[in-house]
């Protein structure tokens, strides 16, 4: 155990709480050297702690974590080299700079000191101005190092706490780093994404494969929406922003923002905007856009396009007799029957207004469309919905007009609607609960001068 006198000397120069001064630990077994160095360091404004052995120095360093150690090389017991080695091997003291002070000035001795982690080596006899200058230099380096470390730690904390996913990518698309949000987005354990290729995650990148070329293709184009494969195999909608780091190794920073829920909400709104709220089939707006697209495709392919216009017979009487709630339920059942007959991607059933419905069948010739219309008429009557005041049938029925055209650039969509609509009115005039047809090319000449309804 150290004498009480030494223990008091070790800690006597500690400043009062709240005043920060750099702390210097001086280690020397020669009292004269120890006293001189301590006096100089105090004069320079530093806290000073002293130890006369390596064992004592290690104990004090663990407790106070000094900013710098001035360490004699030749000491009894644990010498300075071993003391330094143990300081550098412990995480709590490994980053404390050590300046060796020794009468050994041979090259081998100096090299040995630097090899075990010394920051500087001062030969005896000491020149105190030089000692002070070297101490100041090492403390300045330590402050700069700590500042950089603090900045790096602060940046790491920010990156790790981000809600956005962050990837650092090599030029070839290999992942060097993924932050916790990215791991969380994609369902991976920490570090599991490192070393993988971006190409393995991206389901599709418009205009480029997810490789070296796509790194350059994606940079500078702002944020783009991509589909990224989750670890469970499902695709997630994400916004991806790719930015070069402008470093010699050509790294990129990729920011990922999960927009899956946003896209689901957006898709739901889009679907809602395209659906009739009562019947849950396409509304008029959706149908008009769909018809325009299929019309242009039919012009290019020279394939037939068939339109059915359907009107529920005596629907006003049905509503007046059974009430609007029954009328709404009736239209919903009719819509279900129509939807059943519009199964292909190029088919569409829609409520066009009131009790009027339309169906479009692309790539469908006249005869097939007429058979479909007859099947739909049968299906509506087979619903067996009572219509007490109908003069046509005890059940709910519908009148259907069919028109087919192979459109050209010289034709207009209105031609198709006029013919199908007039055919539907012909079905009503002919007794209702029936199908009337019009093949444009034969029928159009007869109706082109009629006023549009």
Catalytic residues: 355
Please state the φ and ψ torsions of residue 79, each to the nearest 5 degrees.
-80, 180
Q: Closest Cα to residue 304, out of 346, 361, 372?
A: 361
How far is 108 from 123, CA to CA, in rounded Å? Answer: 13
CB 50 within 8 A of CB 72: no
Angle between helices 80-89 and 107-115 (to 10 degrees): 20
Number of H helices, E strands in the chain: 16, 16
* Tokens linked to 420: 């199908």
Helix, strand, or coil (residue 302)? coil
How far is 420 from 437, CA to CA, in rounded Å? Answer: 7
Q: What is the DSSP letter of 399?
A: E
DSSP bridge partners of 309: 358, 401
List, edge to edge, every strand of the sheet that includes 98-102. 47-51, 23-27, 68-72, 98-102, 120-123
How far is 202 from 224, CA to CA, in rounded Å? Answer: 12
* Tokens linked to 244: 């070069």
Residue position matching structure tokens 């949000």? 181
CB 434 within 8 A of CB 369: no
């Amino acid at each position: 155990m150290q004498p009480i006198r030494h223990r008091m000397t070790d800690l006597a120069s500690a400043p009062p709480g709240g005043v920060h001064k750099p702390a210097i630990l001086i280690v020397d077994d020669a009292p004269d050297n120890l006293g001189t160095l301590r006096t100089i360091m105090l004069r320079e404004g530093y806290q000073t702690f002293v130890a006369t052995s390596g064992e004592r120095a290690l104990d004090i360093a663990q407790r106070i974590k000094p900013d710098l150690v001035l360490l004699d090389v030749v000491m009894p017991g644990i010498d300075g080299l071993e003391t330094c080695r143990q300081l550098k091997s412990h995480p709590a003291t490994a980053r404390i700079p050590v300046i060796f002070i020794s009468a050994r000035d041979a090259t081998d001795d100096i090299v040995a000191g630097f090899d075990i982690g010394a920051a500087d080596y001062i030969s005896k006899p000491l020149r105190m101005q030089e000692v002070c200058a070297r101490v100041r230099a090492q403390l300045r380096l330590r402050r700069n190092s700590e500042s950089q470390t603090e900045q790096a730690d602060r940046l790491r904390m920010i990156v790790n706490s981000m809600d956005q996913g962050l990837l650092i990518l090599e030029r070839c698309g290999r992942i060097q780093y993924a932050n916790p949000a990215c791991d969380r987005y994609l369902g991976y354990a920490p570090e599991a994404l490192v070393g993988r290729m971006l190409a393995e995650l991206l389901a599709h990148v418009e205009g480029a494969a997810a490789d070296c070329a796509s790194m350059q293709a994606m940079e500078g184009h702002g944020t783009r929406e991509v589909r990224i494969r989750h670890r469970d195999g499902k695709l997630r909608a994400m916004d991806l922003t790719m930015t070069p780091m402008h470093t010699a190794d050509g790294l990129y920073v990729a920011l990922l923002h999960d927009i899956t829920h946003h896209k689901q909400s957006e898709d739901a709104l889009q679907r809602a905007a395209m659906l009739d709220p009562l019947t849950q089939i396409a509304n008029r707006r959706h149908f008009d856009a769909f018809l325009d697209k299929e019309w242009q495709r039919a012009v290019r392919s020279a394939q037939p396009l068939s339109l059915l216009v359907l009107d529920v017979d005596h629907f006003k009487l049905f509503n007046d007799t059974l009430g609007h709630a029954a009328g709404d339920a009736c239209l919903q059942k009719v819509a279900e029957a129509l939807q059943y007959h519009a199964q292909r991607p190029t088919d569409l059933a829609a409520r066009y207004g009131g009790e009027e419905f339309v169906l479009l069948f692309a790539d469908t010739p006249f005869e097939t469309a007429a058979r479909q219309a007859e099947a739909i008429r049968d299906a509506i009557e087979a619903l067996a919905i009572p219509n007490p005041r109908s003069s046509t049938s005890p059940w709910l029925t519908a009148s259907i007009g069919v028109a087919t055209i192979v459109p050209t650039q010289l034709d207009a969509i209105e031609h198709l609607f006029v013919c199908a609509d007039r055919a539907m009115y012909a079905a009503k005039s002919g007794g209702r609960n029936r199908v009337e047809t019009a093949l444009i090319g034969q029928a159009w000449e007869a109706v082109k001068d009629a006023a549009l309804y």
